[in-house]
Amino acid sequence: MTQIKRQDEAELYCALRQRASEQQGEVGTVVRYWGGRGAAIEVVRQLGMNEKRAFYLLEKWARKGWIDYGTWVWGGWFTANAPDALERS
């Protein structure tokens, strides 16, 4: 697990990983696509998170190589470099 400072980041990560496993299933040990913008926004709203904060976190994860996306970060997917989970330090 990778250490993070804020709980909302761990919650979003976990929720998107869960959504991805429901959307497409496991590919080896790596969960992939979470279902696009609509699915991501739905998860963000269910968590009560600000969309700008979620967008920032998605961009952060892209910079770390945990997710990748085509033209828009909301419609991304997890990469093989993505940790299985995040935990709060």
Inside any domain, residue 76: yes
Inside any domain, residue 88: no
Inside any domain, residue 4: no
DSSP 40-82: HHHHHHHHT--HHHHHHHHHHHHHHTSEE-SS-GGG-EE-TTS
Inside any domain, residue 86: no
Q: What is the pTM of this model?
A: 0.86
Q: What is the pLDDT of residues 42-85, one digit of tens each?
A: 999 999 999 999 999 999 999 999 999 988 899 889 988 888 88
Inside any domain, residue 41: yes
Inside any domain, residue 5: no
Predicted local distance difference test score (pLDDT) of residue 13? 94
Cα–chain-centroid distance for residue 35? 11
Higher pLDDT, 69 or 31: 69
CA-wise closest residue to 57 among 35, 42, 73, 45: 73
Predicted local distance difference test score (pLDDT) of residue 42? 95
Work out the percent of the chain whose per-residue pLDDT is above 90.
Answer: 51
Q: In a 3-state reduction of DSSP, which class is residue 28?
A: coil
Q: How many domains does the chain have?
A: 1
Predicted local distance difference test score (pLDDT) of residue 27? 54
Domain that holds residue 43: 10-81
Inside any domain, residue 31: yes
- Long-range contact set of residues 51-60: C-beta below 8 Å, sequence gap at least 24: 53/8, 54/12, 57/8, 57/9, 57/12, 57/13
Inside any domain, residue 87: no
